[in-house]
Amino acid sequence: MTKKENRTGQVAVIGGGASGMMAAITAAQSGADVLLLEQNDRVGRKILSTGNGKCNYTNLYQADACYHSGNPSFPRKILRQFDVQKTVDFFEQLGISPKNRNGCLYPRSEQASSVLDVLRMECGRLKVRIFTETACTRLLAEKPGFQVQTNTGDFFASKVILAAGSRASSVPGSDGSGYMLAQNLGHRLVPVLPALVQLRCSEKFYPSIAGVRAQGKVSILANRVCVAEEEGELQLTNYGISGIPVFQVSGAAARALYQKRQVTAVLNFLPEMGREELADFLKKRALSRPRKTLEEFFIGLFPKKLCDLWIRLGEFPRNQCVDTLTKAQWKKLFCLIQQFQTTVTQTNAFSQAQVCQGGVDTREVSPETLESLLVPGLYFAGEILDVDGICGGYNLQWAWASGHVAGREAAHA
Ligand SMILES: Cc1cc2nc3c(=O)[nH]c(=O)nc-3n(C[C@H](O)[C@H](O)[C@H](O)COP(=O)(O)OP(=O)(O)OC[C@H]3O[C@@H](n4cnc5c(N)ncnc54)[C@H](O)[C@@H]3O)c2cc1C
């Protein structure tokens, strides 16, 4: 065989992450001769970081609201072709037994490496030709097929699946170079911004409450209008706010910041009570122990560092007893507990984000086959597209579903 023939396949998949491996496996299962090109020294590195090393690979609860896209009906049309049951069955066949934690599925071994191992083994069994340390630098649509230019020379394929991921995470290879490959072929990008990421705030007091974790609700206001809210365990850091509920609303905050809107996060540390109920509850608590100082009064209710901050911000005298609080002071206290406002100045960097929002504009991609509407024979899969999911296994479900559809279609078309 000549060098050129060695580097020729029916389907070339660019990017050996979750969606690219799924696309390669599906195309090979359909009988195609598949090349998988990965710029890292091994495939699937990001999979190892998922779910804190345990890989939350899908979620039994699915709804349209779990996925975001500038083209809202697009994800559904792909996800219904490869739903959660198909994901579960696919991985069961490869040897992954699911462990269900409130609908989030993990491999029973609780090791993300299990998911990567079975994908790699399946690629091997199906004779997918994997080329690592191979970075695609340019894609040229020829008639017919594609020339795939890389740092190690050119490859040739009848069909190409672009599954190069996004800019999110510090995992090597997450450099967003796939966007440029798509743009060079004429595709437009929806602005790429971090999502599932921490939010940085302007107030100077954050170091004093760093490390605090408290149940609560976070609402994001953009120019004073609520654009997202979520409940769960809030985490306070030395620069701002974090935790799963903050991750869930961070995409909306990033978008509002990008649009140069004023972004405020409102934290409610007792969301299970309405304002009246909170007033009754605290006043009854004060009546039962009227001589407690505010500091003592909060013990057992909220984390100490948080109460110290409220006392400072509310300018309450340290030794003031709760039975001497004025109406105005009570009001101030209710606001600090349930409407704690903080100014969001930016998100953390792409390297800290779990996913990106934005990407290849899905209006230029078939919602049935994931084939480019501009370049016949070019397909997309995974996070490179303008689709992102909330926390809880949804981003991997998108990777599996889109990888499956792109692989199946590229092999058959
Ligand atoms: C810390 C962390 C935890 C996460 N946990 C979860 C979780 O538990 N559940 C969940 O559903 N989601 C989770 N996610 C999100 C999920 O991992 C991603 O959405 C998913 O891996 C995206 O798959 P992908 O195939 O589109 O991209 P990737 O997995 O990023 O794969 C893209 C691949 O393409 C390669 N590549 C890029 N450009 C080129 C090029 N020019 N040439 C050749 N190769 C290239 C990259 O090196 C990479 O290997 C997590 C993400 C992070 C960062």
pLDDT, one tens digit per residue, over 43-75 is 999 999 999 999 999 999 999 999 999 999 999
Q: What is the pLDDT of residue 375?
A: 98
Nearest 10 degrees: CA dihedral of 96, 67, 368, 157?
-60
Ligand 1 pocket test target in 395, 400, 404, 405 with most atoms within 8 Å of CB:
395
Question: How far apart are the C-alpha atoms of 211 and 207, rounded to whole Å?
Answer: 9
**Residue-by-residue DSSP string for 111-133:** -HHHHHHHHHHHHHHTT-EEE-S
DSSP state of 70: S
Residue 368's identity, in one-letter code, is E
Give the ligand 1 atom nearest the CA of 58: 11
Question: How far, in Å, is the centroid of ligand 1 from the Cα of 248?
Answer: 18
Does 178 contact ligand 1 (Cβ within 6 A)?
yes
Complete domains list, the chain, with CATH: 3-190+359-412 (3.50.50.60), 195-270+343-347 (2.40.30), 279-340 (1.10.8.260)
Residue 295's identity, in one-letter code, is E
Pairing mode of beta strands 129-131, 34-37: parallel
- Give the Cα-Cα-Cα angle 368, 24, 54 (nearest 5 degrees): 100
Asked if 320 contacts 297 with a C-beta cutoff of 8 angstroms, the reply is no
Question: How far apart are the C-alpha atoms of 298 and 91, rounded to whole Å?
Answer: 49
Does 40 contact ligand 1 (Cβ within 6 A)?
yes
pTM: 0.95
Does 20 contact ligand 1 (Cβ within 6 A)?
yes
Pairing mode of beta strands 378-380, 153-162: parallel
Query: What spatial distance separates the first Cα and last Cα of the chain, rounded to whole Å?
Result: 26
Q: What is the pLDDT of residue 289?
A: 86
Percent of the chain at pLDDT exceeding 70: 99
Q: For tokens 């602005």, what's the residue?
A: 191
DSSP state of 225: E
Does 107 contact ligand 1 (Cβ within 6 A)?
no
Ligand 1 pocket test target in 13, 19, 46, 160 with most atoms within 8 Å of CB:
46
Question: How far apart are the C-alpha atoms of 199 and 183, rounded to whole Å?
Answer: 30
Chain segment 304-349, per-residue pLDDT in tens: 999 999 999 999 998 899 999 999 999 999 999 999 999 999 999 9
Peptide bond just before 72 cis, omega within 30 deg = no
Asked if 23 contacts 45 with a C-beta cutoff of 8 angstroms, the reply is no
- Below-70 pLDDT ranges, the chain: 1-5, 413
Atom 21 of ligand 1, residue of closest alpha carbon: 18
Question: How far apart are the C-alpha atoms of 291 and 373, rounded to whole Å?
Answer: 73
Does 17 contact ligand 1 (Cβ within 6 A)?
yes
Q: What is the pLDDT of residue 4?
A: 47
Q: What is the pLDDT of residue 110?
A: 97
